[in-house]
Chains A and B, each alone.
Chain A
């Protein structure tokens, strides 16, 4: 199956700093990628839909100026958590859809665990 990678797999940062998370589709092109956040013992919550070459679409309640998304190529989307605070500590997961496939099968990355001190 298709592979999606994320980097870094985990990161610890100080409050007030910015953190960039990369999501790559390794063997397919993804015009659309998705960013999710998951707090402990909770389900995944969609944050935004990232479209190659255009602005991301954010879900209600997600601050677009705090969570900057860039989808500059068909294989790479980045999420930057700006001015991170402890409440931003979470598991961030991206997914990508292979548009060659007929079904809506999304391939998920392994996730990035962010801890803000």
Chain B
């Protein structure tokens, strides 16, 4: 699985869009980009995943650059409950997930 680089921490004002970047310059052509988050003292939660095209679901949007070397997770209207550590995980779609250090997102009232 490809290595990732994420900022260690970010702040975002409540109600604004939170944009979380991830660099995965060594990603393989058939590796997906998965995003999970972990709220303090809980198990991680799946958010979204994509391969080439941008994706949107009820939780977030995922923007993947054309060269697929980076992506951005967008939480359109952040709430206090979105405070968590966000993990960007390239994965071939097989079963083993490798968690990096992630980005600690703090939503500020």
A residues with a Cβ closer than 8 A to B are 4, 32, 34, 36, 43-46, 49, 91, 93-95, 97, 103-111, 113
Partner of A46, one of B32, B91, B97: B97
Q: Chain A's interface: helix, strand, loop or mixed, by majority?
A: strand
Chain A contacts for B49, CB-based, 8 A: 103-105
Chain B contacts for A111, CB-based, 8 A: 41-43
Whether the pair A104, B91 counts as a contact (CB closer than 8 A) is yes
Whether the pair B95, A49 counts as a contact (CB closer than 8 A) is yes
Give the CA-CA distance A103 to B41 in the complex, in Å. 26
Whether the pair B43, A108 counts as a contact (CB closer than 8 A) is yes
Whether the pair A110, B42 counts as a contact (CB closer than 8 A) is yes
A109's nearest neighbour on chain B, judged by CB, is: B43
A110's nearest neighbour on chain B, judged by CB, is: B43
Compute the total of residue contacts between A and B using a CB distance below 8 Å.
Answer: 56
Chain B contacts for A109, CB-based, 8 A: 43
Whether the pair A108, B32 counts as a contact (CB closer than 8 A) is no
Chain A contacts for B28, CB-based, 8 A: none
B75 to chain A: closest CB distance in Å? 18
Whether the pair A103, B93 counts as a contact (CB closer than 8 A) is yes
A42's nearest neighbour on chain B, judged by CB, is: B101
Q: Interface digits, B83-98 against A, CB 8 Å rule (1 contact, 0 not)?
A: 0000100010111111
Give the CA-CA distance A91 to B99 in the complex, in Å. 15
Q: Is B53 an interface residue (CB 8 A)?
A: no
Ordered by A's residue number, 29 sampled pairs between the chains whose C-beta atoms are within 8 Å are A4-B43, A32-B95, A34-B97, A36-B99, A43-B100, A43-B101, A44-B38, A44-B99, A45-B99, A46-B96, A46-B98, A93-B43, A93-B44, A95-B43, A95-B44, A97-B95, A103-B49, A103-B93, A104-B32, A104-B49, A105-B46, A105-B49, A106-B44, A108-B43, A108-B45, A110-B42, A110-B43, A111-B42, A113-B41
Q: Interface digits, B59-90 against A, CB 8 Å rule (1 contact, 0 not)?
A: 00000000000000000000000000001000
Whether the pair A43, B99 counts as a contact (CB closer than 8 A) is yes
